[in-house]
Structure 1
Amino acid sequence: METRLDTRYSADDATAIPWAQARKVLTEAEVSWLTTIRPDGRPHVTTLLAVWLDDSAYFCTGAEERKGRNLAENPHVALTTGCNRLHEGLDVVLEGDAVRVRDTAKLRRIAEAYEAKYGSEWRFTVSDDGAFLNTYGDEALVYEIAPVTAFGFGKGLYSQTRWRF
């Protein structure tokens, strides 16, 4: 991984943010924003719940939801999280491709991660044929984003760090 401070957008005394700090933000964030690309090229942004596991972000969606339909056509995404304060915190943006997860063992680990993070309200089960089911029995498609590039925007002491994987 390459870590680089972009001095054009950083305070004179800023230093590059360690990836471990960004990973902590991704792990602890309760809400993230996912940007997908509509078939006509326009962006679509929506909030969602995500879990960080094995150096990747995971989220789920219904096949017929806008983001699900977008991902069927174009896997390029950005996942954003952080805080809405100007003088504190760290915002993180992951760029990569959303790849559908179909491995039953991995899906079970993701389901466990959702419940550990969000509680029983967000309990999923995985059927023997690999379906990821919510508490109503509806199937959700699970996607993994392994970051290709990520950005960290430090606030207070303003900084912009780029990580390339």
Structure 2
Amino acid sequence: MEPTTKLDARFSDPTATATPWAQAREQLERAETYWLATVRADGRPHVTTLLAVWQDDAIYFCTGAEEQKARNLESNRNCALTTGASTLHEGLDLVVEGAAERVTDPGALKSLADAWESKYGSAWHFDVGDGVFTHPQGGEALVFQVRPVKVLGFRKGEYSQTSWRFSR
């Protein structure tokens, strides 16, 4: 699905152009680590780093049911995932905004388990249990999908801010 792309001139060099969605999507696919921001039940923010995969126009992550991020998503599914270069003069930083939805379909989970192992190696091998990932060394992980509503891109060097909005 192709989003609506907009350059925000207020935060861009005068000669900057909007970053193409294909470039942002490629970075979302290639990034190794991401930061997930959720909101605790009492309204305080919670941010943590994690691994994720981009597949089928969505970003996926997993977590144990007892972890803070899973508990936060029980009461408020809205979240943001970020990734980027953490440098001042080069790279593209991205913020994906959307609502996290549990993935429980066995076929989808199998495809995602394969994607995790392909991206991160055999240390990240998951089997599929009853609506969850299972790890050979024990434990279960809930899997979440975030279909972007909005993505923000901050390109450094030729400084620009691009937003991509998705209609559902």
TM bin, normalised by shorter chain, reads over 0.9
Structure 1 ranges of 4+ moved more than 3 A: none
- Counterpart selection for 1:43 from 34, 42, 45: 45
Partner Cα separation in structure 2 for residue 87 and residue 47 of structure 1: 23
The correspondence for 2:9, drawn from 7, 10, 17, is: 7
Q: Residue 8 of structure 1: SS of its match in structure 2?
A: helix
**Using the alignment, how far apart are the partners of 1:135 and 1:17 within structure 2?**
41
Q: Which residue pairs with 2:93 in the alignment?
A: 91
For residues 45-88 of structure 1, what are the alpha-carbon distances to aligned partners after superposition, in whole Å with 9 as ceiling and x for unaligned?
00000000001000000111000100111100000001111111
**8 Å CA contact retained: 2:18, 2:161:** yes
Distance 2:84 2:136 in 1: 28
Aligned length: 164
In the alignment, which residue of structure 1 is the partner of 2:107?
A: 105
Shift of 1:135: 2.7
- For residue 122 of structure 2, what is the amino acid of its counterpart? S
Amino acid at match of 1:136: Q
CA distance in 1: counterparts of 2:34 and 2:132, whole angstroms: 24
Corresponding position of 1:154: 155
Which of 97, 114, 117 matches 1:115? Answer: 117
Root-mean-square deviation (CA), in Å?
A: 0.7
State whether structure 2 residue 88 is matched by structure 1 residue 81: no
Counterpart of 1:71 in structure 2 is 73
1:6-44 CA-to-partner distances (Å, cap 9, x unmatched) read 000000010000111001111111000000000111110
CA distance in 2, matches of 1:67, 1:120: 25
Q: Distance in 1 between matches of 2:136 and 2:161?
A: 40
**Which sections of structure 1, spanning at least 5 residues, go unmatched?**
none
Name the residue aligned to 1:163.
Answer: 164
The Cα shift of 1:132 comes to 1.1
* 1:107 aligned counterpart, secondary structure: helix
Secondary structure of the residue that 1:15 maps to in structure 2? coil
Alpha-carbon distance in 2 for matches of 1:135, 1:84? 34
State the SS of the aligned residue for 2:65: coil
State the partner residue of 2:60.
58
Amino acid at match of 1:83: A
Kept in 1, the 8 Å contact 2:100–2:144? The answer is yes
